[in-house]
Amino acid sequence: MNEEIINVSMELIATSGNAKSLALSAINIAKNGNIKEALKMILEAKVELNKVHNIHGDLIAKEASGKKLDISLLFIHSQDHLTSAIIIIDLAEHFIDLYNKLNF
C-alpha cells in the first residue's frame, strides 16, 4: 500500500474524529444551557472539518491531474469518518438550535 495514502488516511481519521468530538461536546454544552460556548465549539469543529476537506481536495486534484492513487480499505474507512463528521456537525447545529429555543 502507498505510504502517502496510509498517512493521508490516518490524518483524515484523526482530524474527522476531532471534528466529531467537538460537535458532540457542543451538544452537551448546549444541553446544559451554554449556547454561546456550544456555537463556539461548532465553529472549531468546522475548522477541523475544513482541514479534512482540504486534504481530500488535494487528493482529488492529484487524481484529476493523472496521478494514480492506491485506494485501500483504510482510505475507504477514512471516508466513512469524514461522512460521519459532516452528519454529526449538521445534527449538532440542529440540537443546539433546539436547546436554545427550549431555554427561552
- pLDDT in the model for residue 77: 95
Choosing from 53, 56, 77, 81, the catalytic residue is 77
- pLDDT in the model for residue 1: 66
For residues 35 and 27, give the distance between their C-alpha atoms in angstroms, rounded to a whole number: 9
Q: How far is CA 50 from the centre of its chain?
A: 8
Q: Are 69 and 59 in contact (CB under 8 A)?
A: yes
Q: Which regions of the chain are under pLDDT 50?
A: none
- pLDDT in the model for residue 21: 98
Q: Which domains does the chain have, with CATH numbers?
A: 3-102 (1.20.58.80)
77 belongs to the catalytic site: yes
User: Considering the entire predicted model, what is its pTM?
Assistant: 0.90
- pLDDT in the model for residue 94: 97
- pLDDT in the model for residue 69: 81
- pLDDT in the model for residue 3: 87
